[in-house]
């Protein structure tokens, strides 16, 4: 989540009535956190980075308020490049892409420069994953001399922003505040990526810009560089910035990026993506009946250039709407523009009699057993990331069959969990100040790719944290679960799992079929989760537990 403070006066200057601001922000699904004088504090979800700046928010408020009808001519950039950015082979090997644009007639006085800098920092910290995915550099165009080159080298120098003395790249990482804050990003590169003109280094990316190209409130013309670990993220960022400056009535010109062998690309692309949606699909999803003209109007209110097309609607998604990935996003936009408060619940009709799902009944049975053994139930999130799921558990990512999340907007959510145990370890780390012993369990889904398809299985996992927690204690709990499930006696064989201490880990089986693992958690894992007491743990497949009966 990102929290941004806006000036009500600035929003009024852009055509929004003061009395409508809070109501329209609520319609967009954002949350107004506070009002103080002329300032309004708004919290946004990560999927709408275009709203983190005044021009972008004002645009969205005008649209949803019905004060502007979008057109494909709203956001156009000449295909004649202002600069050509040459990418050297050394820079290409870093696998960090580059792009740029030139802005003429920017208005940065009266606090607008501070707002622009705050926007780029918020954007790079949230959507840009603290500059790992996206970094943006602002430069005075007048200070850029000659051609622009994107290069990488083991050595080099720059006059860092806020200093007067030239420094070696390695010095910048050690001595400057920005260098110390983001130096770990450089660990992925064998050399330092940087942007230079014919005379000097403009930026050590993604760390810091040069003092020689400092932007001030009197600056009117800008050169903006963008670097990214993803080509799609680079294009999306360039489009958002270009639309933002066009809304402020500045002129935007693109840059041509030249790669080796005559290849290259142009930024910003400013392409309107075409999507088509049948009217019955929208009506079935939302439970409301709308004629095509109304749907066109609702699409326009979310910024889409929409028109009737046969038995449906054709949408041209504007360049700044990087959150729209498919038809579900368009349907959600229709619902937002229509108003969720106006959608009434409908009764569900049917002549069948509902019966409890067998797996749910089994899960409830195991839950009662766990509660009887003195465990408390935890509810973890299926969505996680590689660091918590694998690295902090000392488990390898290779061959794990993880189900990745496409187009993730935050580094904290990049995959579906393959194990329930990391969720419980995270829960223990958050309750470290509570009274011992701490005993938690969770029954939930774990996901893996099998045969090219994602497969969900229900696992039951339990952890026990206290001074005397050990292998024997957890073995007794596992035996109790297996016996109470009616599966007879559990079998235990020595097993090796990096998450557990070697020699104090065993596989759990029923009638010769392996159903899980148990043991004492490795000290390094405890350290990773900042847990000070010993922990014993187990994780079993719920379906396999009952199949063994």
Structure tokens at 312: 């449906």
Helices (H), 32-111: 54-64, 89-93
Instruction: Please name every residue paired with 460 in a beta bridge, in sequence order, or none if there are none.
Output: 443, 540
pLDDT at 344: 85
State which fold the 358-547 domain adopts.
BirA Bifunctional Protein; domain 2 (3.30.930)
Residues 245 and 53: their CA atoms lie apart, in Å, by: 11
CATH top-level class for 273-341? alpha beta
The whole-angstrom separation of Cα 239 and Cα 80 is 16
Return the number of other C-beta atoms located less than 10 Å from residue 220's C-beta: 15
The pair of structure tokens assigned to 504 is 């104090």
Burial 479-510 (b: 16+ CB within 10 A, else e): eebbeebebeebbbeebebebbbeebbbbbbb
Three-state DSSP class for residue 239: helix
Tokens of 205: 């990316």
**The CATH number fitting domain 2-64, selected from 3.40.50.300, 3.90.1150.10, 3.30.360.10, 3.30.56.10:** 3.30.56.10
pLDDT of residue 549: 52
Q: Do the domains 358-547 and 78-267 match in fold?
A: no
Query: Can you list the residues of the chain whose pLDDT is less than 70?
Result: 1, 548-549
Sign of CA dihedral 317, 319, 323, 325: positive
- Each domain of the chain, given as residue ranges in start order, spans 2-64, 78-267, 273-341, 358-547
Per-residue model confidence (pLDDT) at position 168: 94
- Per-residue pLDDT reduced to its tens digit, 195-213: 999 999 999 999 999 999 9
Confidence (pLDDT) at 348: 75
- Residue 94 CA, chain-centre distance (Å), reads 22
pLDDT at site 263: 86
Of the candidates 259, 254, 258, 257, which has an alpha carbon nearest to the alpha carbon of residue 271? 254
Pull the structure tokens for residue 539: 């994780």
One of 3.50.40.10, 3.30.565.10, 3.50.50.60, 3.30.70.141 is the CATH number of 78-267, namely 3.50.40.10
HSE (side-chain half, CA atoms, 13 Å) at 506: 16
């Amino acid at each position: 989540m990102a929290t941004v403070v806006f000036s009500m006066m600035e929003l009024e200057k852009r055509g929004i009535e003061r009395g409508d601001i809070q109501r329209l922000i609520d319609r967009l699904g954002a949350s107004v956190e506070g009002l103080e004088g002329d300032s309004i504090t708004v919290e946004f979800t990560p999927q709408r980075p275009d709203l983190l700046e005044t021009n972008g928010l004002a645009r969205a408020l005008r649209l949803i308020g019905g004060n502007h009808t979008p057109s494909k001519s709203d956001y156009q950039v000449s295909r004649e490049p202002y600069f050509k950015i040459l990418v050297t082979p050394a820079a290409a090997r870093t696998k960090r892409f580059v792009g740029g644009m030139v802005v003429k007639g920017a208005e940065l006085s009266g606090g607008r420069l501070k707002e622009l800098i705050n926007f780029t920092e918020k954007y790079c910290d949230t959507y840009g994953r603290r500059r790992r995915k996206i970094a943006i550099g602002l430069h005075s165009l007048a200070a850029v001399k000659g051609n622009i080159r994107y290069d990488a080298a083991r050595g080099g120098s720059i006059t860092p922003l806020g200093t007067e003395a030239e420094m070696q790249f390695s010095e910048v990482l050690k001595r400057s505040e920005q260098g110390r804050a983001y130096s770990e990003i450089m660990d992925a590169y064998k050399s330092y990526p940087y942007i230079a003109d014919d005379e000097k280094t403009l930026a050590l990316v993604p760390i810091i810009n040069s003092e020689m190209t400092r932007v001030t409130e009197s600056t009117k013309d800008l050169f903006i560089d963008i670097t990214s670990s993803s080509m799609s993220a680079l294009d999306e960022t360039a489009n958002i910035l270009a639309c933002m400056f066009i809304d402020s009535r500045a002129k935007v010109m693109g840059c041509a990026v030249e790669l080796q062998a005559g290849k290259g690309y142009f930024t910003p692309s400013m392409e309107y993506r075409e999507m088509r949606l049948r009217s019955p699909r929208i009506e079935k999803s939302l439970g409301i009946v709308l004629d095509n003209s109304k749907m066109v109007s609702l699409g326009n209110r979310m910024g889409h250039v929409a028109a009737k097309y046969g038995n449906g609607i054709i949408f041209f998604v504007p360049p700044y709407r990087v959150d729209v990935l498919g038809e579900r996003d368009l349907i959600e936009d229709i619902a937002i523009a229509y108003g969720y408060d106006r959608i009434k619940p409908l009764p569900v009709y049917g002549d069948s009699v509902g019966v409890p799902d067998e797996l749910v009944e089994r899960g409830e049975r195991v839950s009662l057993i766990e509660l009887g053994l003195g465990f408390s139930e935890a509810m973890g999130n299926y969505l996680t990331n590689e660091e918590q799921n694998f690295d902090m558990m000392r488990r390898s990512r290779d061959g794990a069959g993880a189900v990745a999340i496409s187009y993730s907007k935050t580094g904290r959510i990049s995959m579906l969990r393959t194990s329930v145990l990391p969720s419980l370890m995270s829960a223990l780390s958050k309750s470290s100040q509570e009274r011992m012993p701490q005993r938690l369990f969770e029954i939930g889904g774990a996901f893996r790719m099998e045969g090219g398809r994602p497969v969900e299985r229900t696992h039951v996992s339990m952890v026990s944290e206290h001074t005397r927690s050990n292998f024997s204690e957890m073995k007794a709990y596992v035996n109790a679960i297996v016996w109470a499930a009616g599966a007879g006696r559990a079998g235990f064989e020595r097993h090796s799992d990096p998450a557990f201490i070697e020699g104090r880990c065993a596989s759990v089986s029923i009638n010769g079929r392996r159903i899980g693992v148990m043991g004492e958690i490795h000290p390094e894992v405890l350290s990773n989760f900042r847990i000070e007491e010993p922990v014993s743990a187990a994780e079993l497949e719920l379906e396999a537990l009952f199949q063994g009966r």
